[in-house]
Chain A
Amino acid sequence: MSTVQPLDLAAGASGTALPGRRRRFRGLPYGLLLPAVAVIIVALGYPLVRQVWLSFHEFGLKQQFGQPAEWVGLANYVELATDPYLWEVLGRSVLFCLVNAAVTLGLGLFIALVMQAMSAGVRIATQAALLLAWAMPVLAVLTVWQWMFDTTYGVVNWALTALGGDFSGHSWLIEPLSFFGIATLIIVWMSVPFVAFTVYAGLTQVSTDAIEAAMLDGAGTLARVRHIMLPAIKPVLAVVGLLQIVWDLRVFTQIYVLQRAGGTASDTNLLGTYVYRLGIGEGSFGMAAAVAMFLLAVTIVLTSPYLVTMFRQED
């Protein structure tokens, strides 16, 4: 994005500075757009084309070492579609994504609303805490969470045991449901700050006149939130919700790291880790590319209602 903006500005500047000679420089705006378009084609287009190409070929380690790849048509897709495991992973991914996006959005919205009612000092402290959580490097965060829930030495097991429970040597990752609970905890913890800040920024733009008028008319807090604030920040919520769904659907790092810490990989694979295990782990690049196409399709399907609303709002 940052590469596109200065070019747009440059195109605009040349247009306004030379109004009389615009005709002579008709090619210039297009010429200036060219580098940006080229960057997009190379950075986004090539991998996409390559992925589509791979998904139609039998491409393994042998092909990686120069043997010709065999065109197999839809064979990779057929094999995946008839493998119940893919549908299991797909269903798991969609469910995980929706739960995470909903919890993140709900919690983020709640924190943003509460931040409005806070005194300045408390609010700044809250914002600093949120910012720190948001700014932490993912792998550092995961290491800390992993240690906290460690089976043998974890502080969570220690605390729960000290409180009278029997959690000595309890593994939090061995059962898939518990595994995804921990994963959700970590992902929500990491994503809530972004939602809270964005929604809070949106809330500061809600007209105070409208809120005052509503208060005079006797509207309670809930009514003010429902009928004035939420409709006003709907576009913000739509964008944030869209991003959360995209992010939570292609989640990889958190699941991958937790799988290495414990649990069983086959019961906890989501689409992201499944693509990795097929491609890098097993060397079936063709199959991995086909799963990645499924991931792309699901992303489009899940986000299309949002996209439609957003485009409507822009008109």
Chain B
Amino acid sequence: MKIRTGLGLAVAGALALSACGQPAATTAPVPGATTTPAASAAAPANIRVWLNGTDTPQEARDFLKKTFEAQNAGSTLTIEEQQWTGLVDKLTTALSSDSQTPDVVEVGNTQAATFTTVGAFADVTADLAGWGGDDLLPGFVAAGSVDGKTFAVPYYAGSKAVFYRKDLFEKAGLTIPTTMAEFVDTAIKLKAANPDKTKNFSGFWFPGKDWRNAVAFIWDAGGDLATNTGGAWAGALSASGSQAGLATVQKLFTEASAAPKDGDEADTWTPFCEGQAGMISAPGWVRGLILSEENGCPDMEKNLGVFALPGSDGSSAPVLLGGSNIAVAAKSPNQELARKAVTIMLSTEYQTILAKAGLTPAKVSLASLLGDDESAKATIAAASNARLTPAAAGWASVEGAMILEDFMVNVAKGGDIAALAAEVDAKITDKLK
């Protein structure tokens, strides 16, 4: 942990140095000196913003720092980059410390509930109207709210769409499916056809641990992972809708996929580039990885197509909504300044920079900024019907215990769906108590 913090500080230091190199800073010999009269009511301070991975482009980081420091004379803003892996562990320790807490944090949308219910984030309900109000992505506001109060707001979104091989579709005489039934049929036919006679070929690449994709089929069939009746959460995989969805999932596992039955969905672009997958389901930014010189296969570009997973009714299927929330740490001593930083991050200018990098903006009205190419269209269509994991306080325990991964592996192995679902429902209910 110490090493990571050290790295974070080093990165922050490097960022601060590069900022000092800008001409604007040279006119003020001591940036951030307390002698400068504060323009606002809040006392000047250094605001620490935690952003995860490389998702936020450098242009947005520079914009945030520059704008914040121009608006709040005397105060500084430092961005500290965190790793997605192990983020919950790190937030758990950092947010509970009075001296170590960052002021503003980015958190995965499905991780937000873990912290909103325990008092780790500050209540920002009063600021909501100023940040965009009803224009903010409703699913993300819901993910950051508990009992009518909002603790975390949307930062950006990104849902999974289906990437497919145009050339293989053509050779097998297949077209883009428009309903769920057609999709399953296409995936099975494509595997059977295996136009290029590749070893271990999948019509639809579907590794066993990939419950985040599997849940789309459960939702489409009218089922759910867990439901809330009268305030009590319970596992819902035995319900008839869920069972129908799971039957589809098992069919895809056994008849359309040759992916490892205990593998996970990391590195989906590898089998795609190896020619072992006719279709994969992945977030929009994976396109960049498929076409990258370093890890991917740029010559695949002419064969690469994208469409949103179709639902049973012909519109987009309800896929799992991916993306990030942003929150103010409850223990931050600089509540007012931290909120000002969030204001900048939700501004049209800042969100435009994110949209250009392929991230779906936090405001519904800005969706058109993504552009109108095939990839953007598929991303927007997928997000139109996206859903979140159950908003239960204990949901993080279900993910932490890897209950769904284990369950899906057993489904992929060809186990009895009804018996497995009954077993896993009991486990989920127990964790959500």
Taking Cβ atoms with an 8 Å cutoff, the residues of A that contact B are 60-62, 64-67, 151-152, 168-169, 171, 173-174, 259-260, 262-267, 277, 280-284
Contact = CB atoms under 8 A, between A and B. Distances in A.
A171 B120 contact: no
Contacts of A262: 260, 262-263
B145 interface: no
A284 B92 CA distance: 12
Interface string B146-162: 00000000000000000
A279 to B, nearest CB: 9
A169 B262 contact: no
Contacts of B115: 61
30 contacts: A60-B118, A61-B92, A61-B114, A62-B118, A64-B118, A66-B119, A151-B260, A151-B262, A152-B260, A152-B263, A168-B199, A171-B261, A173-B262, A174-B208, A174-B409, A259-B402, A263-B262, A264-B406, A264-B409, A266-B403, A266-B406, A277-B402, A280-B400, A281-B400, A281-B401, A281-B402, A282-B396, A282-B397, A283-B396, A284-B397
B171 interface: no
A264 B405 CA distance: 7
A61 B118 contact: yes
B431 interface: yes
Contacts of B401: 265-266, 277, 281-282
A68 to B, nearest CB: 13
User: Interface SS of chain A: helix, strand, loop or mixed?
Assistant: loop
B396 to A, nearest CB: 7
B125 interface: no
Contacts of B330: 65
A148 B271 CA distance: 17
A264 B115 CA distance: 27
Given A62-B118, A277-B401, A265 B406 contact: yes
A169 B402 contact: no
User: Interface SS of chain B: helix, strand, loop or mixed?
Assistant: loop
A112 B114 CA distance: 53
A66 B96 contact: yes
Given A61-B115, A171-B263, 17 more contacts: A151-B260, A151-B263, A152-B259, A152-B276, A169-B200, A169-B260, A174-B409, A259-B402, A262-B263, A264-B262, A265-B401, A266-B402, A277-B401, A280-B89, A280-B400, A281-B401, A283-B400
Contacts, number: 88
B3 to A, nearest CB: 14
A171 B260 contact: yes
Interface of B: 89, 92-93, 95-96, 114-115, 117-120, 199-200, 208, 258-264, 271, 276, 330, 396-397, 400-403, 405-406, 409-410, 413, 431
A23 to B, nearest CB: 46
B261 A65 contact: no
A173 B406 CA distance: 12
A152 B263 CA distance: 10
A171 B410 CA distance: 13
Contacts of A173: 262
A263 B93 CA distance: 30
Contacts of B117: 62
B406 A168 contact: no
A267 B200 CA distance: 27
A169 B258 CA distance: 8
A310 B409 CA distance: 47
A215 to B, nearest CB: 55
Contacts of A284: 397
Contact of B271 (A64, A67, A152, A277): A152
A83 to B, nearest CB: 10
Given A152-B271, A152-B276, A266-B406, A277 B260 contact: no
Contacts of B400: 277, 280-283
A152 B402 CA distance: 23
B410 A264 contact: yes
B96 A64 contact: yes
B167 to A, nearest CB: 22
Contacts of B262: 151, 171, 173-174, 262-264
A145 to B, nearest CB: 16
B431 to A, nearest CB: 7
Contact of B119 (A62, A151, A282): A62
Nearest to B408: A264
A256 to B, nearest CB: 11
Contacts of B89: 280
A173 B401 CA distance: 18
Contact of A65 (B96, B260, B413): B96
A67 B260 contact: no
B200 A265 contact: no
Question: Taking each of B118, B258, B259, B405, which has the highest tally of chain A beta carbons within 10 Å of its own beta carbon?
Answer: B118
Given A168-B199, A283-B92, A174 B405 contact: no
B226 to A, nearest CB: 16
A281 B402 CA distance: 9
Contacts of A267: 406
Contacts of A280: 89, 400
A282 B96 CA distance: 17
Contacts of B410: 264
A281 B395 CA distance: 11
A72 to B, nearest CB: 15
B71 to A, nearest CB: 31
Contacts of A65: 95-96, 118-120, 330
A41 to B, nearest CB: 22
A263 B118 CA distance: 32
Nearest to B410: A264
Those 5 A-B pairs whose CB atoms lie nearest each other, nearest first: A281-B400, A262-B262, A151-B260, A282-B400, A282-B397
Contacts of A281: 397, 400-402
Nearest to A172: B262
A281 B263 CA distance: 20
Nearest to B271: A152
Nearest to B266: A260
